Each structure stands twice: as C-alpha cells, then as structure tokens.
Chain A
Amino acid sequence: MSGLTLTEKIMAKQSGRDSVRPGELVWADVNSIMTMDYLGKSTFNIFDSLGAKELFDRDKVICVSDHLVPPPTEAFANLLNEWRAIVKAHNITYFYDFGKQGIAHQIMVEDGHVLPGTVSIGTDSHANSYGAVGAVGNAVSVTDAAVAMATGKCWFRVPETVKFHVTGKWQPWVMGKDLSLHIMNMMHWNGDLIYKALEYDGPAMTDLSMGGRISLCNMTVDLGAKNGIVAPDEKTQAYLNGVAKGEWEMVFSDSNAEYEAEYEIDITNVGPVVAKPDNLDDVVNVEKVVGTKLNQIFIGTCTNGRVEDFGIAAAILEGKQVHPDINMLMVPASQTQYLEAMEKGYVSTLVKAGVAIGTSGCAPCFGTHRGVAGDGDVVLSAGNRNMKGRMGSKSAEIYLTSPAVCAASALTGTIADPRDLPMPKNFGVTYGE
C-alpha cells in the first residue's frame, strides 16, 4: 500500500484513522478556530442556534479584530462594538482586540495557535497561511466554523496532493512572494491546482524563512488550492518555541506517498516577478515592466506585512528618500511585528525615508480601509489580490510584487529591479538564512 502525503497523514491522524484516501470525507478534530470582526458576529449567532451549552474549548476559539480596526466609519465602529460584546459574552480566552490587534492569520501563526501536524480553520480565505508551520490550514464558511466551535470538529474532503520540490539557491532580493507568483504563472489561478493540497519541499524550502513560508502558503488559496503546507523543521521548532499553545509533534509525509503530480522548481532561476493589473496569473519578470509609472506603493497584508518585509524595505531605503511622486504606505501585519520592526530600527529608517506607517491590520488590502486607491491610481502592492476594485477605485491598476521590488520602486517612482541596486551594507537582515 502506498504511503500518505503530509496533508493526508494529518487528516488521518486528526480523524482517528490509520489512513485516508483522496476524495474521502472525514470529520477531523480541529486544533483551533479563528474568527474575526467582519464575520465573527454571524459565526457566533449560528453557534448560539446549535444548542451547545458551551464552546468545545474556549482556549481554542481565537478572536481577532483585523478588518475593521481602527474603525474608519461609524458603521464599522458599531459593528466592532457588537463584536466585542459577543466575544466577551462567550468568555473567549484569546481575544486580540484593538491595541493587541493584527491580521488574524498572522496572529494565529506567530502566537502559536496553529500547531504542526494538526488542522486549524478560519472564517477567512487566507487561513491557508497556517501551512507554514506544517499544519493543515483551511478557510471555511461561518456555518462550518460555528459547528466546529460547538463540536471541536469540521468535515473535510481529503484532497489530492500536488508536490513542488524546490531546489537551488535563492538569489539576492528574491523572496517567498516571488515563488508564490512564479507558481501562479506556471499553474494559473483556475488551473490544475483547484482543490488540491500543495506540499512544498526540497532544500530551497529549508532555506526559506518562516515569513517566506507564510507568504507562500498564504497565496495557495489564490491558486484555488485547498491548502499549502511546508513540513516542519528546525526553523519551525525555533519559531514555535515559547509561543506554541500546546504540545505538538513533527509530522512528515511517507517516503512512498502518492502524489497526483510533482513539479520541480530550481529557485536559482527565479528572479523578482510582478503580477500585472487585474489577473493574478499575468506574471512577468520584473525586467518586463521596469519603468512603469506609479503613484502609490503599499507593503503590508497577511502576505507581506512582517518584520522581514520591513527589514528588506529598510535596507533599500536607508539614508534615501521615497520619490516625491509616490505615496508609500507600510502596514505591519500585527502589533508584534510592528514592535519588532521598531526595535530593530526599521520603522525609524522608513519614516525618515518618507514612508507613512499605518496601524497594524488589513488596512487598504480589501479596499474599505485607510489607504484605498482612487481613480486612475497606479499601485504597486505587496498584497495578494489585484482584481479590479480590490483596493478601492475600479479604475485603479494594481501590480503585485515582493516588498523588495516595492522598496526599490519607491526610489525611482517607477517599477524598478532591486538587483540594479548596490548591495546594501546591512543586507541579510531579511529573509532566507
């Protein structure tokens, strides 16, 4: 009998079976359930209707304010107040409200609510990010989340697994985001990865930072995949040491696991890339769009709002100035990331360079919060979606890329290739090793 892929193994373990096969439906124990300000109220309302006396585990239902904080409108302020009242009424242990806020997915991972070898779910599509620590992370509807809050379980269809074996050496300035977009270009958002589990392995994955792994797994949802996962290693252990909420074990795929497809990528050949406006998979090497005139640059979101992203931008902008035609906004993914970026001196470097720093959270990523795009704006963003209207005006154009390309472009006011810059003295603070 053939072995199990990492996702299959976790699903089998969490559903009390020796084995599962793709296509099967199982009820799996969930380690944690995330819900947030935007959908949390409906989730708790459904939970209340189920007749459960209490939550399956009040330490495992993680509540976060991210989309609406700080409230930009009266309507959002009211929704936030209702949300707070609901969370308090349910006596939730971990409530990351304004002041302790951050993008839910970032908090789930950085604060150890996601444990390797387990399944965690959230009421937002980028819950796929949890795969960065070797867990199955999945986005579910409010109904599914409510059911899990009552039962500790969620049903899943076991997906087929597609493996990406990534070898070679990361080139300077190339980040996890570039690999994400490179795969988007290879596979397309509505292509062969629909409903699949994506397993990333190989030496280049071992070299990739935890932040880079989060970027990579985060965007697997935009590929249509069910989840993305990187096997845990020493980096994962070091990352979770002291923050993990509970015991966990390393789970790996079997050596004779059966994959639906396997792809090889040599990261040595991957350079900085850019997704052109409107289509996630219209990805080109940065050289092809160098010189494109911009007026807004945004680094942030659950994809690229971490310390390493601030670090690479600070390395590029140190002692320099953002081009006068550019409004540049950077928003940390969480208060923890903000504090660390501040303590490392990145924030002061960036502010001196003329970057505006926003309050931790989703910010303009989904187009309703501060920093949205106006008519005809041309935005270079380190976020994850570039469809028309995503960041505000339908006539704004959104190019997606890595924080390195964003920061290099801030100097010229046009899309620029970071590889043309002299290697900064403080390089190496960022990603990879």
Chain B
Amino acid sequence: MANNLKGTVWKAEGYVFAYDIIKQEFWTSALDKEENSKWVMGGVHPDFDQENGFKSNGYSFIVAGHNFAGGGKSIEHVITGLMGAGIKAVIAESFSRLQFRNAINYGLPFITCKGIEAIASTGDELEVDPISGQIKNLSTGKEIQAAPVAPFVAEVAEAGGLISYIQNIIKEGKVDELR
C-alpha cells in the first residue's frame, strides 16, 4: 500500500447505501473489478447511472458521512466496483461494518475520519497516508488526522487480499505472529 496516495476527491452529498453503489440488478454478476466498475455508484447520482458514469471522472477518493455503504448488504461487488473504478481510499465519518470488513479483506483502505466532510469538496486534490492517518487537502491547505490503519491492512493490500495474505502466512508458518 502506497503511503502517500494522491488524487481528486468525490464527496457524497448525503447517505450512500450499498444498494446504490451497486444496484440490485448487478448483485449476481461475477466479482470482476473491471465489470463491476462500469456500473459502480449508478444509484447514487443520475450522472453516474450509465456505463462508466462514475469511473470516467477519474476520482481517486470518496469522502462520505456516516455508515458509508450501509443497509445490511454484505455483497463484495461494492468493493470490487470501487477498486475497478480507480478508487484508492474511501474516507468517511463511519462505515457499515460488513463493507468495512470486505474493503480490508480486498485491500481497499476505508479510513475513518471525524470531520472529513468539513474539509473536502468534490474536485479537491488530496494527499492521504492511510498508515499514519494524515490527510492533506492540497487544494485548500487544510489538514486532518484520521484513525491510522493497522499495518496489517497495508500488508493485506500488498498481498492482494486476505485470502492470499493468509495463504502466505500459513505457508511461512507465521500464524502465531498474527496480532
């Protein structure tokens, strides 16, 4: 996981449901990053409700309020779709716990940050270090401290997800070292 992610932000204007990130018609599709990315965020805004509607904007970050991707759905398409669309991290006041787990298991940083909504707007350039939790808004100069992600989140991302990460741990006989 790169420690200084840079790029532009899309900021949610209201509550973002998992159901709107990937609309129900795509729930049964394969867990393909490329495929899911074409339709991701289709239910969030009419502009995004077309092929590559969200992806074509080239955003790197999503900033959102409480319970990002909530609604009690555990579908992993939410995460693969966002990753396929080029999202490097989602920074929110809080996350739905099912999607928070999925994000980490897939290696997409979901960064919890109180007050992030107040310091970022759509189109701003951000610099984000998930490991330290430092977030800089390069467009406005404002800075904010988020909860740092545990080093293992970075390791999981590097390994390409939890399954391959654990496969490696088991192969190396390092299960006891997991903490």
Contact = CB atoms under 8 A, between A and B. Distances in A.
A194 B167 contact: no
B104 interface: yes
A195 B162 CA distance: 21
Contacts of B166: 50, 147, 150-151
Nearest to B72: A125
A144 B101 contact: yes
Contacts of B95: 195
Nearest to A17: B179
Interface in B1-60: 15
A26 B150 CA distance: 8
Contacts of B105: 141, 143-144
A74 interface: no
Contacts of A17: 179
A226 interface: yes
Contact of A151 (B67, B94, B178): B178
A93 interface: no
A49 B162 CA distance: 12
Nearest to A142: B74
A153 interface: yes
A291 B147 CA distance: 51
Interface residues of A, number: 31
Contacts of A140: 101
| B: interface residue count bin | 20 to 34
Interface in B95-124: 95-98, 100-102, 104-105, 112
B72 A25 contact: no
A16 interface: yes
A152 B177 CA distance: 12
B147 A23 contact: yes
B89 to A, nearest CB: 15
A27 B178 contact: yes
A195 B100 contact: yes
Contact of A49 (B94, B152, B163): B163
Given A141-B105, A226-B97, A51 B167 contact: yes
B144 interface: no
Nearest to A25: B150
A158 B162 CA distance: 19
B81 interface: no
Contacts of B179: 15-17, 26-27
A155 interface: yes
B138 interface: no
A194 B70 contact: yes
A234 interface: no
12 contacts: A25-B149, A25-B152, A49-B163, A50-B166, A50-B170, A141-B98, A150-B175, A151-B170, A194-B70, A195-B67, A195-B95, A224-B70
Interface of A: 15-17, 23-27, 46, 49-52, 125, 139-141, 143-144, 147, 150-153, 155, 157, 190, 194-195, 224, 226
A-B pairs, 6 with minimum CB distance: A25-B150, A23-B147, A27-B178, A194-B67, A151-B175, A51-B170
Given A143-B105, A153-B175, 5 more contacts: A26-B179, A27-B178, A49-B167, A51-B167, A141-B101
